[in-house]
Structure 1
Amino acid sequence: MSPSGAPGPLPLVVIPGMLCDESLWSDVVFPEGHEVHHLALTEPDVGEPAEQALSSVDGPFVLVGLSLGAIVGFEALRRAPDRIAGFCAMSTNAGAPRPEQYAMWRAMDQLISDGRFAEVVDTTLPGMFEVSSPSAEWADRYRGMAYAVGPDVARAQLAAQATRTDAFGALRGARCPSVVLHGTRDALCPPDFHRSIAEALPGAGLRELSGAGHLLPWQRPDAVSDALRELLATAERVRPPAHRSPAPCAPSTS
């Protein structure tokens, strides 16, 4: 709240993907004047971080999520569509898990349980980029982020993946401006996933980033920054009058 009691600029709640932390957004320039709240994914289901997102700020906010972070955003939309004033979904999947995904997550969890977390990180690395063998610089940056997340949180994130459900009903019930971003060379979440998401979200914009892979905030930070700036501007413009800061009063002449 501003000193007058009127709401200020919309805050952002930003959620990374699996094996990612706040450093995922280090190259992104967030719109000036808006508070940015980073949410870590540490719980073994998608419902708890969705509730954390909703309780992290008062009133309406703009939710930004990549991959598992966007899936948490879908759950927040399901629970409280009136709270979310704008939504940006990147590199993600709104469908229910497939049998082969459950099997893969169980296998990864077993590897971590056996003390082989580095193997899991190296197994996931190729899917993060537009090429199967990223440069040593990109590989080291990804490994550093994943190791900072650590094996215990990684196991919780794997468990959370398995609690996902089909989110298309929640998307169709959204009441806010939205943008969907994806790389055309994202092997984990291909273009068709994002076209389906954009079709389900009322009035959503779809941005296809040519040649990019999964980690858009690293690979296309300028495009992500531009999309967030435009989304914030639209969300502020269509914000219900009760949630807007009042315009300055003209000086009294009486």
Structure 2
Amino acid sequence: MARSTHVRTSDGTRLHAVVEGPDDAPLTVVLAHGWTLTHASWAAQVAALTATGAEHPVRTVTYDQRGHGRSERGAAVLSIDLLGDDLARVLAQTAPEGPVVLVGHSMGGMTVMALAASRPELFGGRVVGVLLTGTSAGGLSVPPPGRVPGLARAVRRGQGAFLAHAARHPARFERLRRLAPPTAALHRRQVRGFLFGVRPPRQAVLECARMIHDTPIEVIAAFFPAIMTHDKSRALSALSGVPVSILCGSLDKLTPVSHTRALAAALPHARVHIEAGCGHMLQTERPDVVSGRLRELVADVHPAVPRTEVGP
């Protein structure tokens, strides 16, 4: 049964979290979602891990990143490093002992890398495995191979300028948003074209559109430069001592395959899977693929590992 709880961050912000699975499970899986999404984007993976009769019983923790879903934004300047600190608090308050697998999608993957940068001692200790999907260690402002550099930079600048303008006039932008609700065909076409691949499930597109629509424009705008300037390539060595799985859709437009290949080059021991015909929302577009890879990782690390405590 799912249990809602709250996590208090270092700056006093309250994050909404959901715990599922038996409290005495020998392993906890903590899943961090991406930009403009919520903890619900992991519903299929949580169901797969906590299903009755699962071979490797686990406890799962999902949470809404600050400013998303039911979590407060707080007064601090939004950054990926701040999200890494938030994740440390989530671990300390929802999984204070026992081994943990960390899972991150997109900005959630960057959150895991930020934690690795600030708390490398956790990896290979408390953290016994990591799964990253549709994410990047940095360089998202650099045009990927095959793109026209000038055009790609112009698109990024245009996106940044649009979001900055919307953040300065949030009320006006929110009124415009209401003209194109998630159920509107135009909205769904935009979400499908930007975030999904070939023939995605209709319900997955609609649920994604709803999450994006419900995320305040100020939060979307504030995280855009944070994501563009994120660079944790030097922190990846902290992951070298734990099993790592890296997944990506072959048609991912937000974090193209080149970023997955860069992660794989930095972590040559990692298992890498590129799903053909799939976009950025791999865990909802092809949920069985992500759930299957996550179950494999859980099977690899499911323990008897001595319980140790972790502080905030």
Matched, 1:229 2:284: no
Over 3 Å counting, the alpha-carbon distance change for 1:219 and 1:233 in structure 2 is same
Which residue pairs with 2:219 in the alignment? Answer: 153
Matched, 1:92 2:157: no
What whole-Å deviation, never above 9, does each CA across 1:175-213 have from its counterpart, x for those lacking one?
211100011111222222111102212511001111111
- C-alpha separation in 1, matches of 2:128 and 2:190: 33
Asked if structure 2 preserves the Cα contact closer than 8 Å seen for 1:39 and 1:53, the reply is no
Shift of residue 156 of structure 1?
Answer: 3.8
Over 3 Å counting, the alpha-carbon distance change for 1:234 and 1:129 in structure 2 is same
Asked if structure 2 preserves the Cα contact closer than 8 Å seen for 1:172 and 1:202, the reply is no
Asked if structure 2 preserves the Cα contact closer than 8 Å seen for 1:45 and 1:163, the reply is no
Asked if structure 1 preserves the Cα contact closer than 8 Å seen for 2:166 and 2:221, the reply is no
Which residue pairs with 2:86 in the alignment? Answer: 52
- C-alpha separation in 2, matches of 1:164 and 1:223: 27
- C-alpha separation in 1, matches of 2:29 and 2:108: 13
Which residue pairs with 2:108 in the alignment? Answer: 69
1:14-33 aligned at under 5 Å gives the runs 14-28=31-45, 29-32=47-50, 33=57
Which residue pairs with 1:252 in the alignment? Answer: none
What amino acid is the match of 1:10? L
Which residue pairs with 1:247 in the alignment? Answer: none
What amino acid is the match of 1:21? T
Q: CA RMSD in A?
A: 2.8
Aligned residues with identical type, % of pairs: 23
Shift of residue 163 of structure 1?
Answer: 5.2
Which residue pairs with 1:113 in the alignment? Answer: 168
Asked if structure 1 preserves the Cα contact closer than 8 Å seen for 2:243 and 2:270, the reply is yes
Over 3 Å counting, the alpha-carbon distance change for 1:135 and 1:209 in structure 2 is closer
Secondary structure at 1:153's aligned position in 2? helix
- C-alpha separation in 1, matches of 2:201 and 2:298: 34
Secondary structure at 1:94's aligned position in 2? coil
Shift of residue 55 of structure 1?
Answer: 2.1
Secondary structure at 1:173's aligned position in 2? helix
Which residue pairs with 1:190 in the alignment? Answer: 256
Asked if structure 1 preserves the Cα contact closer than 8 Å seen for 2:166 and 2:217, the reply is no
- C-alpha separation in 2, matches of 1:111 and 1:186: 25
What amino acid is the match of 2:101? V
Which residue pairs with 2:119 in the alignment? Answer: 80
Shift of residue 102 of structure 1?
Answer: 6.0
What amino acid is the match of 1:168? S
Asked if structure 2 preserves the Cα contact closer than 8 Å seen for 1:171 and 1:200, the reply is yes
What amino acid is the match of 1:87? V
Over 3 Å counting, the alpha-carbon distance change for 1:230 and 1:202 in structure 2 is same
Q: TM-score, normalised by structure 2?
A: 0.66
Unaligned runs of 5+ in 1: 1-6, 245-254
What amino acid is the match of 1:172? S
Greater RCO (CA < 8 Å, at least 6 residues apart): 1
What whole-Å deviation, never above 9, does each CA across 1:100-145 have from its counterpart, x for those lacking one?
44663342232243332538x95962221115x9786554332211
**212-221 or 20-29: bigger deviation:** 20-29
Secondary structure at 1:180's aligned position in 2? strand
Unaligned runs of 5+ in 2: 1-23, 51-56, 67-72, 143-152
- C-alpha separation in 1, matches of 2:190 and 2:226: 17
Q: 2:234 aligns with which of 164, 169, 183?
A: 169
Asked if structure 2 preserves the Cα contact closer than 8 Å seen for 1:179 and 1:198, the reply is no
- C-alpha separation in 1, matches of 2:100 and 2:264: 20
Deviating runs (4+, > 6 A) in structure 1? 133-136
Asked if structure 2 preserves the Cα contact closer than 8 Å seen for 1:50 and 1:72, the reply is yes
